[in-house]
Amino acid sequence: MMKNVEEALKKRPIMIAGPCSVESEEQIDKTAKFVASKGLKFLRGGAYKPRTSPDSFQGLGRKGAEMLKRAAERHGLYTVSEVMTDEDLKESYDYIDIVQIGSRNMASYGLIKQIAELTKDDRKPVLLKRHFGATITELLKAADYLSYYGNDNVLLCLRGIRTFEQIDSCFRFTPDISGIIELKDKTEKPIIFDPSHSAGLRRYVGKISETALCAGADGLIIEIHPEPDSALSDKDQALFFDDFSELLEDIGFNQD
């Protein structure tokens, strides 16, 4: 299994798509089927959600991760999902092929060490997202924690940073495109760009995706949903399936 993930990760661009959160069997299966029909290999879906408000939808936890894995397996995909604690990873280890460390936990060194220790024997890939207030050097050093504690199989993910633009910009975060260029200079690790969380609005996702690839990103992670208007998290940035098909055409995605 792990060998195959490694094979799939060698292709460019590395395209990851799926809902912000896993919400139901039906929602994730529809998405997996669609994602696979487009020739992608990676399905994202949050089960343990870092929400700003404690009264927002918190994700389905282990059940959500299990639904994600089942849907992925039915359609020949690998899963990408965030964990917020070592307990999350222990209980859902077999359901997650690529472990996401979210932006908010990039500097949680205790968690990063635990994730390295839990994943090192399999060299299970880890997708480490840049904190929206962290420098590029801090991101690279957080990745060093993973290697230092035993797992150097890391993909770095840029997802927008907070700048003065957020005083009145429509963008949720400022897309850190220069970070792509700088990271390509400083590391061999694959660089994934997340246009969804940086844009915050679906109409900006396509242009930012093209720009990120142009700047040298090795891949993209994009939020899509079968019915964005009823999504339980990040509905404004989720692409309709048709939008995503168009985006794939615009970037000339063709992988089989």
Smaller CB distance to ligand PEP: residue 106 or 248? 106
Among 20, 99, 116, 238, binds ligand PEP (CB under 6 A): 20
What number of chain residues touch ligand PEP (CB under 6 A)?
10
Whole-number Å distance between alpha carbons of 223 and 209? 12
Residues 215/180, Cβ–Cβ less than 8 Å: yes
Least Å from the CB of residue 27 to ligand PEP:
15
Least Å from the CB of residue 3 to ligand PEP:
26
Q: Mark residues 116-135: x for contact with ligand PEP by CB under 6 A, - for none.
A: -------------x------
Q: Is 102 in the site for ligand PEP (CB under 6 A)?
A: yes
Residue at token pair 């029909």: 37
Is omega for the bond preceding 125 within 30 degrees of 0, making it cis?
no
Least Å from the CB of residue 82 to ligand PEP:
6
Contacts of 11 (CB under 8 A, 6+ apart): 41, 255
Smaller CB distance to ligand PEP: residue 103 or 153? 103
Smaller CB distance to Mn ion: residue 140 or 239? 239
Nearest to 196 by CA among 185, 186, 188, 207: 207
Residue at token pair 């939020």: 223
Q: Is 232 in the site for Mn ion (CB under 5 A)?
A: no
Buried b (16+ CB within 10 A) or exposed e, 195-217: bbbbbbebebbbebbbebbebeb
Among 17, 27, 234, 248, binds Mn ion (CB under 5 A): 234
Q: Which positions touch Mn ion (CB under 5 A)? A: 20, 234
